[in-house]
C-alpha cells in the first residue's frame, strides 16, 4: 500500500483498508483511495498515529442484556435504537501521545509511556481536542453519542447473536483493565483483546466521555438519539481501571459535570464520513 502525505498542518493521512481504486491527495501527492468508506483509516498528527474503524449503520437494543445480574435502574428500560448513518470510531482511547500532539500538553496523572490513555480530561477538554483535531485534519471529529458508543462497544453489525456483558467477551479479564487486575493504574491501550469490530478497551482502563447530556431513558424505539436537549452532567461510559466489574459492563451509565476531570476519565473520538 502506498503512503499518502497531505500538506495540511502537521497532519498525515497514512492509509486505509478496504477495496481498491486511485485518487489524488489535496497536497498533490498520490493517494490510494481504496473505497469511499474504507473499513479502517489510519491518520497521523506529528509523530502520533491513530486508526479509526468504520461502524456500519444498524439497529440494536441499548441497555442491559439477558443474564446480567448487576443491572442498575439507570440502564432501564432496554429499547431499540436505529442508527441510520455510518461513522468511524477510534480503535483505541485517545493516547497521551496523540493528545499532546494536538493540544500541546499532557494532563495525565499516569505517565511514562506514550501509548497510555490520556486522563484527567474533562468533557470540555475532550470537545476542544475534537475541534482542534478537526481543524488540523480537515475532517470532522467529535465525541460519540451514547448510542453510538454502546453500538460500537457491542460490535455493531458484527456483534455476536447473544450480546456480551463486556465489550468483546463475557469474561472480564479478557478485555478489561479494572480494579482486580490493573494494579491501581492505567495500562497501554490495545493490550487486552478487541471486540468484534477490532476496537480495544471499550470497557475498563478509563471512563469515556460521550456527547450527550445525561438523562433517564424514556423507552420506546428511537432513531439517532443524542440525549436530552439540556442538562447539568454529561454521559460517561465503559468503566475504568479503578472500578469493579459491575461498572465495566457495556450497559453501565455514569455521569459528571462537563468541567470535571479525574485520573480515570478519558475519551475516544468519532469521525463522521
Q: Round to whole Å and give the CA distance between 78 and 64.
A: 6
Q: Could you read off the pLDDT tens digit of each residue along the chain, which spans 273 residues?
A: 322 333 234 566 676 777 443 333 333 333 333 458 999 999 999 999 999 999 999 999 999 998 899 999 999 999 999 999 999 999 999 999 999 999 999 999 999 999 999 999 999 999 999 999 999 999 999 999 999 999 999 999 999 999 999 999 999 999 999 999 999 999 999 999 999 999 999 999 999 999 999 999 998 999 999 999 999 999 999 999 999 999 999 999 999 999 999 999 999 999 998
Q: What pLDDT is stored for residue 36 in this prediction?
A: 80
Q: What pLDDT is stored for residue 197 in this prediction?
A: 97
The angle that helices 96-103 and 123-137 make with each other, rounded to 10 degrees, is 70
Q: What pLDDT is stored for residue 49 in this prediction?
A: 96
Q: What pLDDT is stored for residue 24 in this prediction?
A: 39
Domains of the chain: 57-84+105-272 (3.90.1580.10)
The bridge status of strand 265-266 relative to strand 207-213 is: parallel
Q: What pLDDT is stored for residue 224 in this prediction?
A: 98
Residue identified by cell 470532522 is 140
Amino acid at each position: 500500500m502506498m503512503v499518502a502525505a497531505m500538506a495540511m498542518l502537521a497532519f498525515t493521512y497514512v492509509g486505509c483498508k478496504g477495496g481498491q481504486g486511485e485518487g489524488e491527495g489535496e497536497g498533490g501527492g498520490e493517494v490510494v483511495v481504496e473505497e469511499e468508506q474504507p473499513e479502517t483509516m489510519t491518520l497521523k498528527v506529528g509523530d502520533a498515529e491513530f486508526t479509526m474503524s468504520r461502524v456500519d449503520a444498524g439497529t440494536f437494543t441499548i441497555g442491559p442484556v439477558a443474564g446480567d445480574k448487576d443491572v442498575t435502574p439507570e440502564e432501564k428500560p432496554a429499547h431499540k435504537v436505529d442508527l441510520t448513518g455510518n461513522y468511524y470510531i477510534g480503535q483505541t482511547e485517545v493516547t497521551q501521545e496523540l493528545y499532546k500532539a494536538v493540544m500541546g500538553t499532557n494532563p495525565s496523572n499516569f505517565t511514562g509511556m506514550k501509548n497510555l490513555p490520556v486522563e484527567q480530561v474533562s468533557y470540555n477538554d475532550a470537545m476542544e481536542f475534537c475541534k482542534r483535531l478537526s481543524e488540523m485534519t480537515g475532517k470532522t471529529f467529535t465525541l460519540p453519542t451514547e448510542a453510538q458508543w454502546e453500538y460500537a462497544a457491542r460490535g455493531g453489525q458484527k456483534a455476536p447473536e447473544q450480546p456480551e456483558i463486556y465489550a468483546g467477551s463475557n469474561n472480564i479479564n479478557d478485555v478489561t483493565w479494572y480494579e482486580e487486575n490493573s494494579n491501581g493504574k492505567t495500562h497501554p491501550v490495545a493490550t487486552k483483546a478487541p471486540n468484534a469490530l477490532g476496537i480495544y478497551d471499550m470497557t475498563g482502563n478509563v471512563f469515556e466521555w460521550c456527547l450527550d447530556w445525561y438523562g433517564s431513558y424514556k423507552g420506546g424505539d428511537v432513531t439517532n438519539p443524542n440525549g436530552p436537549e439540556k442538562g447539568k452532567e454529561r454521559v460517561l461510559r465503559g468503566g475504568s481501571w479503578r472500578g469493579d466489574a459491575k461498572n465495566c459492563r457495556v450497559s453501565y451509565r455514569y455521569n459528571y459535570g462537563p468541567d470535571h476531570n479525574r485520573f480515570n476519565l478519558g475519551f475516544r473520538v468519532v469521525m463522521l464520513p
